């Protein structure tokens, strides 16, 4: 397999890994709805960066780091579960943004009012939170180790092949998050404020449920 083929194959794998809508997908959708595409893309970039970090650990054979992370698997799952539960509860208790309320009062139920947009600091916080949340799942190291064993040419594994595989997975993951954020952003401007609020509440319930599942895994 050539390096180009390896890159695109790895990108397809990264896309397939990112596509299922789990807690991180819900978080990305929620942040895009409430903070705009910049916030959603920051979430997606944080997730892809976390996956790339674990991919590098598996690809470069950093056994000590991977064993350390796997040894603390349960505390990390507990941390992730508590954080997801916190995000879910906070979302459920959060009041509607002022711009949403004003849009309804002005008769702009179709989403024509100005929607909230996060600034650079908010995007950095979103990136950091999603990166840390992704890093609380050390099982990703095992997944990437199996991936490299499958994709790498037999008997020809090298640092260049490892980096190409990690880069492909990262690009495939980013492609999915860009697509998801684009779709949600378009819907954000098309749907009414009441429906946006209902979706936000539904995402809060889902995040809390995922958090409880993670906590149960840690116990």
Question: Quick one: 181 exposed, middle or buried, by C-beta within 10 A (0-12, 13-18, 19+)?
Answer: buried
pLDDT digits (tens, 9 = 90+) for 130-177: 888 888 876 777 777 777 667 665 555 567 777 888 888 899 889 999
**What is the mean pLDDT of the segment spanning 5-27?**
83
Tokens 């050390």 belong to which residue? 138
Query: ∠ CA 51-173-144 to the nearest 5 degrees?
Result: 40
Question: Does position 97 have pLDDT exceeding 60, yes or no?
Answer: no
The tokens of 13 are what?
A: 């794998």
Task: Please tell me which residue, 160 or 49, carries the higher pLDDT value.
Answer: 49
User: 166 is in which domain, residue-wise?
Assistant: 3-218
In whole angstroms, give the CA distance from residue 13 to residue 25: 17
What is the model's pLDDT at position 127?
A: 92
* Range 51-74 average pLDDT: 73
Number of domains in the chain: 1
Question: What gap in Å lies between CA 26 and CA 18, rounded to an integer?
Answer: 12
Model confidence, pTM: 0.74
């Amino acid at each position: 397999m050539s390096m180009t083929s390896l890159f695109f194959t790895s990108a397809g794998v990264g896309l397939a890994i990112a596509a299922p809508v789990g807690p991180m997908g819900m978080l990305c959708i929620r942040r895009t709805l409430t903070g705009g595409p910049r916030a959603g893309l920051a979430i997606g970039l944080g997730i892809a960066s976390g996956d790339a970090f674990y991919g590098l650990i598996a690809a470069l054979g950093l056994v000590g780091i991977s064993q350390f992370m796997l040894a603390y698997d349960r505390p990390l799952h507990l941390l992730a579960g508590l954080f997801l539960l916190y995000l879910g509860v906070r979302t459920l208790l959060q009041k509607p943004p002022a711009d949403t309320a004003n849009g309804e009062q002005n008769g702009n139920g179709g989403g024509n009012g100005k929607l909230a947009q996060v600034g650079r600091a908010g995007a950095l916080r979103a990136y950091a939170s999603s990166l840390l949340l992704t890093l609380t799942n050390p099982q990703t190291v095992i997944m990437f180790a199996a991936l490299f064993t499958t994709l790498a040419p037999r008997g020809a594994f090298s640092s260049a092949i490892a980096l190409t595989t990690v880069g492909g997975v990262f690009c495939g993951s980013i492609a999915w998050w860009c697509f998801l954020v684009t779709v949600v952003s378009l819907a954000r401007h098309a749907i009414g404020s009441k429906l946006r609020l209902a979706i936000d509440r539904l995402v809060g319930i889902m995040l809390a449920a995922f958090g409880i599942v993670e906590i149960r895994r840690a116990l």
